[in-house]
Chains A and B, each alone.
Chain A
Amino acid sequence: MNQTLSEILKELSELDNDSKAYYLIDLADEFIQTNNKKPYSENNKVPACESEVYLWVTNKNNKYYLDFSVENPQGISAKAMAVILQNSLNGLTKEEINLISDDLPYEIFGKSLSMGKGAGLVSMVRLVKYFVNN
């Protein structure tokens, strides 16, 4: 786990549920939609994600950079997750990204994460790993 992600998880672990929610909403507010042109390829679509998230991964000298689109205006959790993944994984190597747990969304969102949201957010992490490994 890289330093930024450790810091985010530590900070979240010290917050109560309400403060955690506002922290995540603030992150979602920082989300920047991709400039990639539509229509997006289905290959870039995160499976089982209700927020209609698309992901692109760019390799620059064996370091990886993430770009997201969240098409559902209600995709607040997906936007927060995208910002966390970008802030913590951009510039890392494949080996470093592979150390990230698939269950990262549960560490971030905790008990407030519903089943549907959980599955979609885990899919975001898995698709990042899939792209860097293939």
Chain B
Amino acid sequence: MLDIESRGYVNSSVLVSTEWVANNLENIRLIESNEDPLLYKAGHIETAVEVDWIRDLNDPIVRDYLGEQAFHNLVTKIGITPDTTVVFYGDKNNWWATYALWVFELFGHKNCKIMDGGRLKWENEKRPLTREIKSFNKSEYPIVKRDDSSDRIFRDGVLTHIKQNKKLIDVRSFPEYTGEKLHMEGYPNEGALRGGHIPGAKSVPWASSINSDGTFKISSDLKEIYEKTANLNQSDEVVVYCRIGERSSHTWFVLKYLLGYSNVKNYDGSWTEWGNLVGVPVERE
């Protein structure tokens, strides 16, 4: 596999290798975000803290992300300042790591990075894991208002987006896209009443962007997928969506950083919202 710097990404600095992480543990804050809540406690990279996508990133009552005070409490608890370089990694090829990074960016945190290949690559390289949980001194971090305007879109925005014939990428599995299935293989139905996809959306399953070892594909391969096959252009306004916004945060990361798209928004309401909305258009094929 080519070095990250040699893969042709527009913003290669947002992706770091396992080796880079191993050599910079003292200079960064590592955040592990997993789907499996046992994984972090069973062993994690030394100095890593856990940010759980349900407990830490979601509002406990309203379907929304944490508010400004909760974000402030979270980052100060784990010793992050506005200048801290935060590196995210996790299971499932960094699904939840990119999701956590996306939420951090809603609060304007700069210097966010992803560890290429995620937790599995680190483990496969036989790098050390520990069960010791480090605590950090409480840090200073201003209370920052969440900005949903740049990287997030809501249903009304999506309706306007499709009326203007702008681009959408559905990153779910193809049977979900066609409406054959209401949920991905192996997952229960979360109650979507209609199957199909948002009109005009192209199907590019999220995993198209990764290699078998969980690392991201090189830029030319990504362009082949997103630009030749899905007909995207760097200047397009693009909306990505999946089921609840987690898989699509992975594709958001690819388009925004690796391919340098300046206007990509994640529709986190995704199919669990759209598939239940009364009166919105749905396509099947």
Contacts and interface: CB of A to CB of B under 8 A. Distances in A.
Interface of A: 18, 21-22, 24-25, 28, 47-50, 73-74, 76-77, 80, 112, 114-120
Contacts of A74: 36, 39, 91, 119-120, 123
B223 to A, nearest CB: 30
Given A24-B38, A74-B36, A112-B37, 19 more contacts: A18-B41, A21-B37, A21-B38, A25-B38, A25-B42, A47-B186, A48-B185, A50-B92, A50-B186, A73-B123, A73-B124, A74-B39, A76-B36, A77-B38, A80-B38, A115-B187, A115-B188, A116-B187, A119-B187
Contacts of A28: 38, 42
Given A74-B91, A74-B120, A74-B123, A118 B38 contact: no
B41 A25 contact: yes
B105 interface: no
A116 B39 CA distance: 14
A120 B39 contact: no
B190 interface: yes
Instruction: Report which residue of B39, B185, B186, B188 has the largest number of chain A beta carbons within 10 angstroms of its beta carbon.
Output: B186
Interface of B: 35-39, 41-42, 91-92, 119-120, 123-124, 185-188, 190
A116 B38 contact: no
Nearest to A50: B186
B120 A49 contact: no
Contacts of A80: 38
A114 B38 contact: no
